[in-house]
Structure 1
Amino acid sequence: MSLVLLETQGHVRTIRLNAPERRNALDWPLLDEFAAAVRVVADDPEARALVVAGNGSAFCAGANLENLFGDLDRPVEQMRDHLMTVYASFLGLRDLTIPTIAAVQGPAVGAGLNIALACDIIVAGPKAGFGPTFAEIGLHPGGGCTWMLTERIGAGNARAALLSGAVIRSEEALRLGLANVLADEPVAAAVELAQKYAARDPQLNADILHSVQIASTSDFDTSLDFESRAQAESFGREQFRTYMARFLAKD
């Protein structure tokens, strides 16, 4: 049985974690399949939006620590190199140039939270729970959690969440900005968003995502420089030209 499923619906791709009997906990076989699925999407010219979901009651219950971490008595530098390999297996999501949407229907804990955070948009269901629980088991956050959580909810809220280690429920996640959308059926809602994004010019989506990245890491002038070029290029694309034709026809 495949531990990760890759589905196609028009220009929308869906990656599903498929180990529901263990609440989609991550081990090397699952992460290898996940990384491979992300690479397939990255190389697919017809893919314009991606949904990431988990089958069963959980989005992802975190890492199988023994399987993923191995010998804990290795020197720190060896463990650090090993951890970077673990992180790379799911952080490829952040390198995609298409919109990515996490559909979180249940717990997303530890490394499972990181997978959701690596997506551009998070849709949370009524039973969703976001667990930055590292400190509760005596573990420092990893996998980019500190950076991605701070990006979404700010430094003060990130400090509180990481020091608490408590699971954040869906309504609180929305209030904090951790989740973007609440939906009774998060996968269906995520697919609907993905279809909306996929109907647009893919270069427009890619430029918007890149523009936000620049805005969050550079100064105003650098951001404005990219915006002016990207907006000028979008003037020549079909969707905007069609809109302008309709607009002018009203006069």
Structure 2
Amino acid sequence: MNLVLVTDDGPVRTITLNAPERLNALDLDLLAELKEAIADTAATSTVGAVVVTGAGRAFCAGADLTGMFGDLTRPTEEIRDHLKGVYASFLGLRDLAAPTIAAVQGPAIGAGLNIALACDVIIEGPRARFGPTFAAIGLHPGGGCSWMLVERIGRSRAMAALLEGALIDADRAHDIGLADSRADDPLTEANRIAALCAGRSELSRTIKRSVDNATRAGFTDSIDVEALAQAESTGSETFRRRLAEFAART
């Protein structure tokens, strides 16, 4: 059985964590398949948007701790290097040119939360739970959680959640901006948004690049990037048609 399923519906690709009997908990085999799926997506130019989800009732219950860390008697530096390789299995989601949307229908815990955070947009269902729970098991956060959580909900809220090792329910997640929107069926909603993005594939990619640039650059540089991208987009068939329609009404 494949531990990660990759399906295409036209230009929309869905990547599904597929170990529902263990709530999609991550082991090294699943992560290897996920890394391969992300690499293939990066190399496939026809993918216009990506939906990431989990099979069954959980998005991802986190790491299978028994096999994830390996030999704990190794020097700390060796464990660190091993963990950075683990992180690379899913953080490639952040580098995809196409927009990525996480459909979180159930628990997203620990490293599972990181996979959701690595996506551009998070759609939650009513049974979603988000767990930066590392401290609750005596473990420092990893996999980019500290940075991505601060990016999403701000320093003070991220600090409070990580120090507590909190489990954040769907209502709270929506209130603090951890989830971008809610839907009774988050996968259907994620697919709707993905289809919209994929239908404007080049525009969606340039918007993603501009937003990513805005998080790193100053205002003046962001204006320069936007001005060039907007100028290029005036040549699109959609814009020219809308411009003609507008001109005909005036």
- Common fold: TM-score over 0.5: yes
Is the Cα contact below 8 Å between 1:34 and 1:90 reproduced in 2?
A: yes
CA contact 1:94–1:118 (8 Å) conserved in 2: yes
Counterpart-to-counterpart distance in 2, 1:189 and 1:99: 15
Task: Name the CA distance, whole Å, in 2 between partners of 1:80 and 1:33.
Answer: 22
Q: Are the counterparts in 2 of residues 211 and 226 from structure 1 also a CA contact under 8 Å?
A: yes
Task: Please give the secondary structure, in 2, of the residue aligned with 1:160.
Answer: helix
Distance (Å, rounded) in 1 between the aligned partners of 2:75 and 2:237: 56
Residue matched to 2:204: 205
Alpha-carbon separation, structure 1, partners of 2:242 and 2:149: 37
Query: Where in structure 2 are the equivalents of 1:140-155 lying within 5 Å?
Result: 140-155=140-155
Structure 1 match to 2:93: 93
* Secondary structure of 2:6 counterpart: strand
1:152 partner amino acid: R
Preserved CA contact (<8 Å) 1:171 1:182:
no
Which residue in the other structure is 1:75 paired with? 75
User: TM-score, length-normalised on structure 1?
Assistant: 0.98
Cα distance in 2 between the residues matched to 1:103 and 1:112: 12
Number of equivalent positions: 250
1:110 Cα offset (Å) = 0.2
What is the alpha-carbon distance in structure 1 between the residues aligned to residue 97 and residue 244 of structure 2? 29
What are the Cα deviations for residues 200-244 of structure 1, in whole angstroms up to 9, with x where unaligned? Answer: 1x2211111111111111111111111111111111111211111
In the alignment, the residues of structure 2 paired with residue 214 and residue 187 of structure 1 have an alpha-carbon distance, to the nearest angstrom, of 28
Q: One-letter code of the match for 2:75? A: P
SS in 1 for 2:126: coil
Aligned residue in 2 for 1:59: 59
Distance, in Å, in 1 between the alignment partners of 2:72 and 2:203 is 45
C-alpha separation between the residues in 1 aligned to 2:78 and 2:229?
A: 43
Deviation at 1:171, TM superposition (A): 1.2
* Cross-structure match for 2:194: 194
Secondary structure of the structure 2 residue equivalent to 1:130: strand
| SS class of match (2:141) | coil
Offset of residue 155 of structure 1: 0.4
State percent identity of aligned pairs.
Answer: 58
Match of 1:27 in 2: 27
- String of CA shifts for 1:75-126, please: whole Å, max 9, x gaps: 1111111111000000010010111000000000000000000000000001
Which whole-Å CA distance do the structure 2 matches of 1:105 and 1:213 have between them? 26
Separation in structure 2 between the aligned mates of residue 231 and residue 100 of structure 1, nearest angstrom: 22
1:135: which partner in 2? 135
Corresponding position of 1:227:
226
Amino acid at match of 1:110: G
Q: Tell me how far 1:4 sits from its aligned partner.
A: 0.6
Q: Partner of 2:110 in structure 1?
A: 110
* Contact 1:125 1:184 survives alignment (8 Å): yes
RMSD of equivalent CA atoms: 0.8
- Which residue is equivalent to 1:156? 156
Instruction: Measure, in 2, the Cα distance between the counterparts of 1:62 and 1:146.
Output: 16
Which residue does the alignment assign to 1:245? 244
SS in 1 for 2:139: coil
TM-score computed with the length of structure 2 as normaliser: 0.98
Question: What residue number does 2:84 align with?
Answer: 84
User: Which amino acid in the other structure matches residue 60 of structure 2?
Assistant: C
Q: 2:50 maps to which residue?
A: 50
Aligned partner of 1:174 in structure 2 is: 174
Distance 2:79 2:94 in 1: 23
Deviations 1:108-147 (A, max 9, x none): 0000000000000000001000000000011110000001
Q: Is the 8 A contact 1:52 1:103 kept in 2?
A: yes
- 8 Å contact from structure 1 (residues 4, 18) kept in 2: yes
Instruction: Give the structure 1 partner of residue 121 of structure 2.
Output: 121
Q: AA paired with 2:197?
A: Y
Residues 105 and 127, structure 1, Cα contact 8 Å, conserved in 2: yes
Query: What letter is aligned with 1:235?
Result: T
Q: Secondary structure at the match of 2:224?
A: helix
